[in-house]
Amino acid sequence: MLFIIAALLATSLLGTGVAAQAEGVANCNAKRPNIVFIFTDDQDLHLNSLDYMKTVKSELIDKGTMFSNHFATVSLCCPSRASLFRGQHGHNTNITSVRSPGGNYQKWRLSGENKNYLPFWLGQAGYRTEYIGKFLNGYTRALYEHKPEGWDFIDALVDPFTYEFNTPVFSKNGERPILYRGYHQTDVIRAKALSRLHYLTESQDKPFYLTIAPASPHNAIHDYPTPLKRHMKDFKGMQAPRPANFNPSDELTAQKPSWLKHLKPLEGKKLDQIDTYYRRRIQALQGVDEIVDDVLHLLKEKQQLDNTYIVFSSDNGYHLGQHRVFAGKTLPYIEDTNVPLIVRGPNVPHGAKSRLPGTHLDLAPTFLDIACIDRSEYPVFFDGRSLLDDWHHPANSSDGLENRDIINVEFWGSAGHSSTNAEGKENNSYKTLRLVGEKTAYLYSKWCTGESELYNTLDDPFELHNLAKNPDTETRRLIHRLNGLLLVTKSCRQDHCRNPWSVLQSSCEDHNNCPTSGEIFSNFQAAMDTKYDTFFKSLPHVQFKECMEFQDADNEEPYLPASSRSLGRAHRQDTDNYQTPNVKDAKAPPANDKAQGTKAQRHDTVKDMMQKARKLTDAELGHTTGVVSREEEIAMYDEIV
């Protein structure tokens, strides 16, 4: 059922006032703020990429707030973006990968989730919604006419060209794709974003929401990331950081689970390649920094900057040599899951650094809060919560916010070629719980192989010393509590995601050995009381029956509560055995034979770019016939994972 705002509510939203229904709500008696969301692809937080983005540092971090405890709940492009759009965990969207059977754009369409997500909700509240850049993996030549729904305007990158940075191909509102010859993709996104901002600030009077989603610093297919030509000589000799978990010892590597414990040391050519990867990533991000610079200048020129939230983040993090793993994401560790979140806007303090926790599930509720939508009107399926009060009061402590400190991260399927030093097809499925409190912080993971990991991330921030190996009595007690929380969060929905302790409290109260006198636990410290040992020890262990490429309810039993086994089906359609349309006999458009993005092109406009641009021909579109085979999809997407 679509999320519909009643006409009376819509009228009040557009009028002079909706009473502030909760602490942290936007000022609904003034002109409602605009939102510009700049969403990069594969950008790290822990490898210091932000240090090399001059404008992001001076105009967003110094004039806004940096949130250091923000997480992607799936460390992979498509499922992370789907979760953000819907405010739901991947186990509830069932978009769990970049290819079938786990997920892609076709699965997003067939699930019906494409008809009930962020742009619909903001649009019904009176916002104009627009999108430029990468949407979801699998928006291909075979599907371009089935444009992403809900947007007033969308100009999206089209596969298989999304990572061919010098051959940028976009489809505007589902029209025939256009090839922007002689230009770099990042410059095209910059020009398109500025063109739309001119329209949004000059030719219409609604508040607006605009996503700008460059594909940088993601690597190219079979290659390193592709920077603009004008930045290809920047940062000569730069090396990747070598933190404590970079290329660790045999002893530490042996403590890892699954395929990770078999990795050999990174040596010689691999180390040189990691340095090249890092340098090319930093070079590629200079073009993103230019987008930020131009967007801020235009908003200031149009006198809209002070009434606009600028939100900067990435779909997932990235590793380069950590735990001996080459280059990529998909792992549960801090480099892959902890992502940048920087906010500048109305009532957001300047130069603040905050440890208040959050996830991508929280961004859609936060944007609705900014739009003055009453929280009683939010979609019932939200797993996240609004962060607007945190954005306005980042100096608040997270101590005592035990429900907020619980972060669920999950993954299904293989790690992908670029992620490993081995075959690249190792199954990487796991369920992970993070506690990110100021005084209590752990990473607990349960892998499909049956192996476990436990790190005290206050004492061991590089996640090297696996306490689940040969645990002592006190560590076993700790694991029992973490297992109980993970048993809830791995399949949680709605309020249970926001307060997993409530599920454990109910289960404990029904348990014969649960103490009945006194106040029952409501946080981790209270749950560690020895009087609850019997209860937590009695809970079934989180497990997988086997390692699979996709989510399967039977495979991931047991569930707590039992009703969470539905995994979000009440709010999506069945997509079992869906297939992806295939394009046959397509002629590749001529690739640019040299690097694009020169200094002379730095300020080129869409009008300039259209002089060389052309629509794809019938031959280049090919013809849609049959479906993509499993082998073809693996070959197509393993390199981009």
Per-residue pLDDT tens digits for 40-50:
999 999 999 99
Measure the CA–CA gap between 632 and 464, rounded to whole angstroms.
Answer: 37
Measure the CA–CA gap between 388 and 449, rounded to whole angstroms.
Answer: 39
**What letter represents residue 165's amino acid?**
F
Pair 120, 158 in one domain: yes
Per-residue confidence (pLDDT) for residue 422, from 0 to 100: 47
Please indicate, yes or no, if residue 163 is contained in any of the structural domains. yes
Name the domain count of the chain: 2
Please indicate, yes or no, if residue 611 is contained in any of the structural domains. no
Q: How many of the other CB atoms lie within 10 Å of CB of 95?
A: 31
In order, the DSSP letters of 577-609 are: T---EEEESPPPPPPPSS----GGGTT--HHHH
Pair 148, 284 in one domain: yes
Please indicate, yes or no, if residue 576 is contained in any of the structural domains. no
Measure the CA–CA gap between 260 and 281, rounded to whole angstroms.
Answer: 24
Measure the CA–CA gap between 571 and 567, rounded to whole angstroms.
Answer: 9
Task: List Cβ neighbours of 365 (8 Å cut-off, separation of 6 or more).
Answer: 87, 375, 378, 382, 384, 385, 386, 387
Pair 385, 436 in one domain: no
Could you say which of 392, 415, 441 is where a domain stops? 392
Backbone angles phi, psi at 45, to 5 degrees: -105, -35
Active site residues: 77
The CA radius of gyration of the chain, in Å to the nearest whole number, is 24
Contact between 188 and 168 under an 8 Å Cβ cutoff? The reply is yes
Contact between 330 and 415 under an 8 Å Cβ cutoff? The reply is yes
Pair 69, 208 in one domain: yes
**Two tokens at 21?**
């229904």
Pair 498, 365 in one domain: no
Pair 253, 182 in one domain: yes
Pair 273, 365 in one domain: yes
Could you say which of 571, 587, 610 is where a domain stops? 571
* Burial of 578: CB neighbours in 10 Å, binned 0-12, 13-18, 19+: middle
Please indicate, yes or no, if residue 437 is contained in any of the structural domains. yes
In order, the DSSP letters of 97-129 are: SSSTTT--HHHHHHTTGGGSSHHHHHHHTT-EE
Measure the CA–CA gap between 185 and 164, rounded to whole angstroms.
Answer: 8
Per-residue confidence (pLDDT) for residue 636, from 0 to 100: 58
Per-residue confidence (pLDDT) for residue 210, from 0 to 100: 99
Per-residue confidence (pLDDT) for residue 146, from 0 to 100: 97
Measure the CA–CA gap between 540 and 373, rounded to whole angstroms.
Answer: 40
Reduced 3-state DSSP string for 137-193: CCCECCCCCCCCCCCCEEEEECECCCCCCCCCEEEECCCCCEECCCCCHHHHHHHHH
List the Cα angle 132/317/210 in 5-degree steps: 20
Measure the CA–CA gap between 325 and 306, rounded to whole angstroms.
Answer: 43
Q: Is the pTM of this model over 0.85?
A: yes
Contact between 484 and 537 under an 8 Å Cβ cutoff? The reply is no
How do beta strands 34-40 and 178-179 pair?
Answer: unpaired
Pair 313, 417 in one domain: no
Give me the residues of the chain with pLDDT under 50, please. Answer: 1-24, 419-423
ω into 101 cis (within 30 of 0): yes
542-to-37, 75, 538 alpha-carbon distances in Å: 36, 20, 12
Measure the CA–CA gap between 223 and 158, rounded to whole angstroms.
Answer: 19
Exposure class string for 99-134: b at 16+ Cβ within 10 A, else e: bbbbbbbbbbbebebbebbbbbbbbbbbbbbbbbbb
Please indicate, yes or no, if residue 314 is contained in any of the structural domains. yes
Please indicate, yes or no, if residue 209 is contained in any of the structural domains. yes
Pair 56, 174 in one domain: yes
In the chain, what's the furthest Cα-to-Cα distance? 77
Could you say which of 358, 392, 426 is where a domain stops? 392
Please indicate, yes or no, if residue 368 is contained in any of the structural domains. yes
**For 299, what's the count of Cα atoms within 13 Å in the CB-facing half-sphere?**
23
Measure the CA–CA gap between 260 and 521, rounded to whole angstroms.
Answer: 36
Q: Is 312 helix (H, G, I), strand (E, B) or coil?
A: strand
Task: List Cβ neighbours of 145 (8 Å cut-off, separation of 6 or more).
Answer: 174
Pair 333, 424 in one domain: no
Distance of CA 600 to the CA centre of its chain: 34
Pair 192, 330 in one domain: yes
Range of the domain at 521: 406-571
Pair 362, 425 in one domain: no
Please indicate, yes or no, if residue 484 is contained in any of the structural domains. yes
Q: Quickly count helices (H) and strands (E) in the chain.
A: 20, 21
List the Cα angle 92/319/546 in 5-degree steps: 45
